[in-house]
């Protein structure tokens, strides 16, 4: 198991879902990703920690009544000083829509957007360090920003987090860059083209590992979700883009044992 002892600051450390019905979300994701749940108290609005073999893998929160915005998975970057990082986000053309704010004694949070409109989170850990497992079935394994302006997104994330972008060659018409923190690939940038619906905004897409992508897709449809892109093979594994019953999109992927380094 790829257990995380100490999350690296400046890289993605957590994912969580904001959804209108936590009970329905647990019923959907539990069998799909093999999760058990630690449901919080009324004071936390029943924020739910999703676990893989007892380790924290992701979270789920209740969308407040009247809150604007659709159900969605959010990728959080770990930071040492969230107030300073929020100013850095603003300095480089991003926006801070919520926070920075304390989340009890667990850490400090801010919700931001990059200059192309894609939303992401910042997390300054205290008691809650972030995900404790990755690259295993049920755990987060990749994330990418699908954007209308890849050059602007790359410039922003490179300036804010110190990432180095490397363009993937041999991708045909698709333009894709990987973002690296030192030698480690931590995310990607995909240029949205004319094939994307005109109404689709720039957004972060989050990936979860599964034992079998085809079985996972079957479960998605049986449990009331939708399939946006059916299972297909890639150099990194067999993957599909899916949507939960509330409308949040994500990717399931069966990781290839011979996956090349991004």
- List, for residues 45-93, the tens digit of each pLDDT value: 999 999 999 999 999 999 987 776 789 999 999 999 999 999 999 999 9
Stretch 41-46: mean pLDDT: 92
Tokens of 184: 């480690």
Stretch 227-256: mean pLDDT: 96
Tokens of 225: 């979700």
Q: What pLDDT score was predicted for residue 84? A: 98
Residue 195: pLDDT over 90: no
- Between CA 119 and CA 95 the distance in angstroms is 9
Q: What percent of the chain has pLDDT over 90?
A: 85
Neighbours of 66 (CB within 10 A): 5
- Between CA 248 and CA 17 the distance in angstroms is 8
Tokens of 121: 């989170």
Hey, where are the domains in the chain?
12-125
Question: Per mean pLDDT, which range of 112-116, 148-152, 195-199 is the poorest?
Answer: 195-199
Site of tokens 């667990």? 106
User: Domain spanning 12-125: which superfamily?
Assistant: 2,3-Dihydroxybiphenyl 1,2-Dioxygenase, domain 1 (3.10.180.10)
SS3 of 184, please? strand
Stretch 164-189: mean pLDDT: 92
SS3 of 248, please? coil
Residue 258: pLDDT over 70: no
Residue 104: pLDDT over 90: yes
Strands 203-209 and 140-147: antiparallel
Q: What pLDDT score was predicted for residue 262? A: 44
- Between CA 116 and CA 196 the distance in angstroms is 15
Stretch 1-13: mean pLDDT: 86
């Amino acid at each position: 198991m790829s257990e995380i002892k100490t999350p690296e600051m400046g890289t993605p450390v957590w994912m969580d879902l904001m959804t209108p019905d936590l009970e329905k979300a647990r019923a959907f994701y539990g069998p799909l990703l093999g999760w058990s749940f630690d449901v919080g108290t009324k004071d936390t609005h029943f924020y739910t920690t999703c676990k893989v073999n007892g380790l924290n893998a992701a979270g789920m929160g209740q969308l407040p009544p009247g809150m604007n915005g659709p159900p969605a998975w959010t990728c959080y970057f770990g930071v040492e000083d969230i107030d300073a990082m929020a100013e850095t986000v603003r300095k480089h053309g991003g926006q801070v829509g919520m926070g920075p704010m304390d989340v009890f004694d667990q850490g400090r949070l801010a919700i931001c957007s990059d200059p192309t409109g894609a939303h992401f989170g910042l997390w300054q850990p205290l008691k809650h360090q972030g995900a404790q497992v990755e690259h295993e079935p049920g755990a987060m394994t990749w994330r990418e920003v699908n954007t209308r302006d890849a050059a602007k997104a790359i410039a922003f994330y490179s300036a804010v987090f110190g990432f180095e972008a490397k363009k993937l060659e041999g991708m045909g018409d698709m333009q894709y860059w990987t973002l690296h923190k030192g030698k480690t690939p931590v995310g990607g940038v995909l240029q949205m083209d004319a094939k994307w619906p005109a109404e689709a905004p720039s957004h972060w897409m989050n990936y979860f590992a599964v034992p079998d992508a085809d079985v996972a897709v079957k479960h998605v449809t049986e449990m009331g979700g939708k399939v946006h892109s059916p299972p297909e093979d890639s150099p990194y594994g067999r993957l599909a883009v899916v949507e939960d019953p509330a409308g949040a999109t994500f990717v399931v992927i069966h990781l290839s044992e011979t996956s090349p380094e991004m």
